[in-house]
A and B are shown apart, each in its own frame.
Chain A
Amino acid sequence: MSDAASRPDAKTPTGGTGEGGAFLDMFRDVPVPDRCVACTNCSLACPVTRVAPDYMGPRMMGPVYERFRRGEVPPTSRKALKLALHEDPFLHYCSNCKNCDIACPCGVPISSLIMEARASFPRSRLTALRDWILAHGETIGLRTALFPAALRNFAMNLSPTRHVLAALGVAFKAPLPAFASATFNGFLGSLPQPEGLVRKVAVFPGCYVNLYDHDCGKDLVYLLNRAGYRVVPSGFVCCGLPMIANGFAGDARANAETNMAELARLENDGVPVLAPCPSCVMTLNEDRPAACKDAGPPPVIDACAFVAGCIARGELALPSANPMRVMYHAPCHLRAQGIGLPGLDLLSDVPGLDVLEAGAGCCGISGSYGFKKEKYALAMSIGEELFGRVKESGAGLVVTECGTCRVQIAHGTGKAVRHPLSLLRSLFADVVR
């Protein structure tokens, strides 16, 4: 994993790493606000800036804003407080997709700076409630888990519910994912796994698989079992990214502590941890150096990269497919890790599959961003290029690792969208059955 090695500043995480690590070392000891050379590459790379002319872009809202925030002594006089404004709408434009971090030649953790600034500003009550709901999907999913999934989904998609959500600021048209029955973590204990598997792995399911998409989790377990690994239960909670993105830094920190303790425990037992969602992998690996001073637990491994490793080591035979054209979308948070595109590489090696890389940038959803009423249209126009690319390609199926990318692409194109490992697993099913 190049992520930890090339991280410019352990205290303020960034995803913009990977290639050029040696170059970024130049900035290791330079304080964060001093690294930006104002080149504006980040603003050119920002998908939001491209479609929202009002938005000033990541350079302004990140490093520039940071210089104004640094060392500011809070206003003490009543007059100053009276004029202090309650909400800065511009801070909420950023979708935290991290394309700015990828583009920065100087190792500025731009998106993290914007998220910190966002967390430091107060919000109006209604927006705060909406953002809390979007940030705490896991909590809501767990609290309502007493009700059967069908009932919950029926209730969620009822017109009155959507109207209430719309009043809170959740876009009426946005495609809310459907709850699965129970959680993946709970369900893993009862999942039959073959006897006699010696090697162990743990899976960080991520909220999307944990709450909505058990099939993806089951597909991963199937592949791991087949490669000779037993998936052991674990006590992870949400990685905290939705909380960071919605301005709940404290909650994110609390979750990070729980997860880091769990990572350390598994490391002690010699159990590697993998995750199917790139955003979770990115967040956990960024938290790790901050949570652990020196040698922390090993990084969380991208599930596709792990399965590719199984194939390379001969633990898993590569299946073949009936000729089929598939379009692959690389999630922004995967690109931000600088670990290549293991999901694309994996599928490209499968005989019969004609895998095209979309190469059309961000899909627009960026976690909870596209679900917000005032951001829905923006998110859809950001995804426009990708949707067009998918439609032109003639591919019958789109694959991508990220859960909300799948929701957005399905919403924007009407095509079926799956996780690369789900596609891989279905090919095994073809062979086996």
Chain B
Amino acid sequence: MPLDVRGTAAHPHGSAPAPRLPDVEVTALPDDAPPTRAGTASPHSRTTRLPGRFDVSTPSPERNATTVAIIGGGATGVGILRDLSMRGIPAVLLERQALAAGTSSRFHGLLHCGGRYAVGDPEAARECIQENRILRHIAPNCIESPEGFFVLTPEDDPAYEKTWLEGCAKAGIATSPVDPDEARRLEPGLSPDIKVVHRVPDASVDGFRLVWHNWLSAREHGGQLRLRHQVTGILQDGGKVAGLRVLDRNKGEEYVLNCDMVVSAAGPWAGEVAAMAGIHVDITPDRGTLVVFNHRFASRIVNRLHRSGDGDIFVPVGTVTILGTTSFTADGPEDTLPTSEEVLRLLDLGAPVFPDLRSHRILRAFAGVRPLYTPPNTAHGRGGSRNFVIVDHADQGLAGMVSIFGGKLTTYRLMAEKIGDLVAKRLGVNAPCATARTPLSPPPSRSDMEKASKIFPVSALRQAAERQGAAFPKLVKGLAEGRGAEFLCECEMVSRAEVELTAMESPAFNLNDIRVRTRIGMGTCQGAFCPLRSMGALHAAGIREDLDPRRELSRFLGERWKGLRPALWGVQVQEIELSREIYGATFNLGNSREDGETS
């Protein structure tokens, strides 16, 4: 029976009732607040330990004016922010929710080599292989798995192999045949019925991490990010963009941001943004559901060698394997609740590749919405182009406004580069794109790695170094100075120091943002232990005392349970019963549905 989170449980910190928060989405420190305690009079203060073990202060931005306003904090938007910032063009990114809250985190994690588009979409295939090479160079800490397989199952048309190989050759994708026995030695779970295997330069990419590191790099170059800032209107002056009306959802107040240009990179929401300027755009939100398995039962990306369809790709990424995807026209950009039917269908579709698929434990399922650009008389769904389209709305009578539609995560940088070229041209700035040559973050230094290896096990160390990137030296310094090496999240090996450091970074508004950055709660136990420990650690350290523990926990668990419900069977049921006992019995936190929708 679902427990009511708004019940009358005792306040976790004593007899004082939990403060009732106003009904704004989030109460967080403003973006430019220094990383100090919210107030010394807080009833939660229990230690006198001084905050500021990590220096994460950012310069305070000019609020009401910039040159370019970017709408949408996904990979494309943040990529554009980085691109423009590196060209020296002042830019502000407005995101109404959180970084990578939309499609950029709701995909399979494949860094395409282009093989999946080699036959049907050769232009996309060429872009993919080109960007694949660039991203391996500039974002090595976000990318792993050095190769992929395309496998022909008995259900696939053998004639497709030849067409596909020709397509790959034309697009410049290197393929090499693999002896099927050798393939099964490398991937023991592969079906014995697979007789044709080709190797391709696929890779996997952590979407959250890629977006976050783009932001850290953009910040280095002066880019500004405003989270929970929602665009409510596009201001025009004589057929030209003059600025944006923005609702600061942190403070609940509206302001005007004057700018010379507006770039819409709102993904599935791009139609809504354009509509604010009175422009109609054909965006078909296309929904894809994916299943996350508890461990890596494959070492490589495995695609089926056929015309790209549903349930035909396995991507090992981090500690998990993701199986995707489906393709249905969605009810709207927010239609991301997966169903058990979709999960079961994916399991059926995946079985010809990995026959033991059903024995593997499913952690959760999730769905994303592809922002397919579908002007009249074009194909939808699987047939719809994965290419991106840039529209300069000057042609529709609004100068200074540019939208980017479609595309995919693999080509986010190229999309940003094309936008950057256009914006620079319109502004008369003569600065070439620099994003393809400059790594997002420096590699970890040997001395930092060695220092931290005395504190962490090797796997945890690699993970922390890759997650933190440019912030890693700060983490090592914090670890070396004292406490904080204990793991708050054991499944993903996230230390207390890393949670504290992340909590003080400006885009981390709540526990869910800390999750996105560090992966707490994304492993085996799906938040049975880590959110509770993290809240306790933050309060004990006097960091982010503005966060209300019960609200944060219920929001965090609600978001987890949203993905757990559609695939809740087997060992995972035992796991979740343990979690429900912990939170239900001790905090009267339940799983009522309205309780934890992400904001």
Say whether A85 contacts B295, CB under 8 Å: no
Mark interface residues in B155-166 (1 if CB within 8 Å of A CB, else 0): 000000000000
A163 contacts B by Cβ under 8 Å:
no
Say whether A71 contacts B524, CB under 8 Å: no
Say whether B571 contacts A34, CB under 8 Å: yes
Mark interface residues in B549-580 (1 if CB within 8 Å of A CB, else 0): 00000000000000000000011001100100
Closest to A36 in B: B524
Say whether B457 contacts A60, CB under 8 Å: yes
Give the residue of A27, A56, A79, A121 whose beta carbon is less than 8 angstroms from that of B458: A121
Say whether A64 contacts B493, CB under 8 Å: yes
Say whether A70 contacts B297, CB under 8 Å: yes
From known contacts A34-B294, A67-B295, A70-B297, infer whether A59 and B459 are also in contact, taking CB-CB under 8 Å: no
Say whether A29 contacts B458, CB under 8 Å: no
* From A33, A82, A84, residue with most partner B Cβ within 10 Å: A33
Give the residue of B299, B319, B575 whose beta carbon is less than 8 angstroms from that of A73: B299
Give the residue of B147, B295, B465, B490 whose beta carbon is less than 8 angstroms from that of A60: B490
B463: chain A residues within 8 A (beta carbon): 68
From known contacts A38-B524, A76-B146, A90-B457, infer whether A33 and B490 are also in contact, taking CB-CB under 8 Å: no
Give the residue of A29, A38, A71 whose beta carbon is less than 8 angstroms from that of B491: A38
Say whether A29 contacts B571, CB under 8 Å: no
B470 contacts A by Cβ under 8 Å:
no
B405 contacts A by Cβ under 8 Å:
no
Number of interface residues of B (CB under 8 A): 46
Say whether B459 contacts A65, CB under 8 Å: yes
A106 to B294, CA, bound (A): 15
Say whether A65 contacts B457, CB under 8 Å: yes
Say whether A85 contacts B294, CB under 8 Å: no
Say whether A67 contacts B457, CB under 8 Å: no
Say whether B493 contacts A68, CB under 8 Å: yes
Say whether A83 contacts B294, CB under 8 Å: no
Mark interface residues in A16-44 (1 if CB within 8 Å of B CB, else 0): 00000000000101110111111110000
Say whether B461 contacts A85, CB under 8 Å: yes
Task: Tell me the smallest distance from the CB of B390 to a CB of chain A, in Å.
Answer: 35
B529: chain A residues within 8 A (beta carbon): 38, 40
Task: Tell me the smallest distance from the CB of B138 to a CB of chain A, in Å.
Answer: 14
A27 to B316, CA, bound (A): 23
* From B321, B450, B459, residue with most partner A Cβ within 10 Å: B459
A195: chain B residues within 8 A (beta carbon): none
A349 contacts B by Cβ under 8 Å:
no
A71: chain B residues within 8 A (beta carbon): 295-299, 316, 321
B252 contacts A by Cβ under 8 Å:
no
A71 to B300, CA, bound (A): 8
From known contacts A65-B459, A71-B295, infer whether A34 and B578 are also in contact, taking CB-CB under 8 Å: no
B67 contacts A by Cβ under 8 Å:
no
A211 contacts B by Cβ under 8 Å:
no
B300: chain A residues within 8 A (beta carbon): 73
B444: chain A residues within 8 A (beta carbon): 83
Task: Tell me the smallest distance from the CB of A57 to a CB of chain B, in Å.
Answer: 9
From known contacts A37-B525, A56-B457, infer whether A67 and B319 are also in contact, taking CB-CB under 8 Å: yes
Say whether A106 contacts B490, CB under 8 Å: no
B454: chain A residues within 8 A (beta carbon): 89
Say whether A69 contacts B570, CB under 8 Å: no
A70: chain B residues within 8 A (beta carbon): 295-297
A 75-100 contacts with B by CB, 8 A: 76, 79, 82-85, 88-91
B571: chain A residues within 8 A (beta carbon): 27, 30, 34-35, 37, 106
A39: chain B residues within 8 A (beta carbon): 578
Q: For the side of the interface on A, what is the size category?
A: 35 or more
Say whether A38 contacts B490, CB under 8 Å: yes
B45 contacts A by Cβ under 8 Å:
no
A79 to B446, CA, bound (A): 10
A61 contacts B by Cβ under 8 Å:
yes
A294 contacts B by Cβ under 8 Å:
no
A304 to B320, CA, bound (A): 46
Closest to B530 in A: A38
B175: chain A residues within 8 A (beta carbon): none
Q: How would you classify the secondary structure of chain B's contact residues: helix, strand, loop or mixed?
A: loop
A34 to B356, CA, bound (A): 13
A72 contacts B by Cβ under 8 Å:
yes
A91 to B453, CA, bound (A): 12
Task: Tell me the smallest distance from the CB of B552 to a CB of chain A, in Å.
Answer: 20
Give the residue of B145, B458, B578 whose beta carbon is less than 8 angstroms from that of A38: B578
Say whether B578 contacts A85, CB under 8 Å: no
From known contacts A33-B295, A34-B294, infer whether A67 and B316 are also in contact, taking CB-CB under 8 Å: no
Mark interface residues in B481-493 (1 if CB within 8 Å of A CB, else 0): 0000001001101
Give the residue of B295, B457, B491 whose beta carbon is less than 8 angstroms from that of A34: B295
B294: chain A residues within 8 A (beta carbon): 33-34, 67
Say whether B525 contacts A38, CB under 8 Å: yes
Task: Tell me the smallest distance from the CB of A85 to a CB of chain B, in Å.
Answer: 5
B 305-321 contacts with A by CB, 8 A: 316, 319, 321
From known contacts A31-B360, A34-B360, infer whether A83 and B446 are also in contact, taking CB-CB under 8 Å: yes
B 29-45 contacts with A by CB, 8 A: none
Closest to B493 in A: A64
* From A33, A63, A68, A73, residue with most partner B Cβ within 10 Å: A68
A89 to B458, CA, bound (A): 9
Say whether A72 contacts B296, CB under 8 Å: yes
A406 to B456, CA, bound (A): 35
Say whether A38 contacts B528, CB under 8 Å: yes
A65: chain B residues within 8 A (beta carbon): 457, 459
A29 to B356, CA, bound (A): 10
Task: Tell me the smallest distance from the CB of B591 to a CB of chain A, in Å.
Answer: 18
Say whether B490 contacts A82, CB under 8 Å: no
B351 contacts A by Cβ under 8 Å:
no
B114 contacts A by Cβ under 8 Å:
no
From known contacts A37-B525, A83-B444, infer whether A64 and B490 are also in contact, taking CB-CB under 8 Å: yes
Give the residue of B356, B524, B570, B578 whose beta carbon is less than 8 angstroms from that of A67: B524
B347: chain A residues within 8 A (beta carbon): none
Give the residue of A30, A60, A66, A79 whose beta carbon is less than 8 angstroms from that of B361: A30
From known contacts A67-B491, A70-B295, A71-B299, infer whether A29 and B359 are also in contact, taking CB-CB under 8 Å: yes
From known contacts A31-B297, A38-B575, A73-B146, infer whether A67 and B450 are also in contact, taking CB-CB under 8 Å: no
A 390-405 contacts with B by CB, 8 A: none
A73 to B300, CA, bound (A): 8
A30 to B572, CA, bound (A): 11
Closest to A43 in B: B490
B449 contacts A by Cβ under 8 Å:
yes
Task: Tell me the smallest distance from the CB of B422 to a CB of chain A, in Å.
Answer: 35
B 213-244 contacts with A by CB, 8 A: none
B383 contacts A by Cβ under 8 Å:
no
A27 to B571, CA, bound (A): 8
B443 contacts A by Cβ under 8 Å:
yes
Mark interface residues in B458-500 (1 if CB within 8 Å of A CB, else 0): 1101110100000000000000000000010011010000000
A71 to B145, CA, bound (A): 9
B167 contacts A by Cβ under 8 Å:
no
Closest to B576 in A: A37
B102 contacts A by Cβ under 8 Å:
no
A297 to B74, CA, bound (A): 61
Task: Tell me the smallest distance from the CB of A192 to a CB of chain B, in Å.
Answer: 54
Say whether A85 contacts B296, CB under 8 Å: no
Closest to A30 in B: B571
A89: chain B residues within 8 A (beta carbon): 454
22 contacts between A and B (CB under 8 A): A27-B571, A33-B294, A37-B575, A37-B578, A38-B575, A38-B578, A39-B578, A63-B524, A64-B490, A64-B524, A67-B491, A67-B523, A69-B459, A71-B298, A71-B321, A73-B146, A83-B443, A84-B458, A85-B449, A89-B454, A90-B457, A106-B571
13 other contacts beyond A60-B457, A64-B524, A84-B458, with CB at 8 A cut-off?
A31-B295, A34-B295, A34-B360, A37-B575, A65-B459, A67-B524, A71-B296, A71-B321, A73-B144, A73-B299, A85-B461, A91-B457, A106-B571
The 6 A-B pairs with the shortest beta carbon distances in the complex, nearest first, are A71-B296, A34-B361, A38-B525, A68-B459, A33-B295, A71-B299
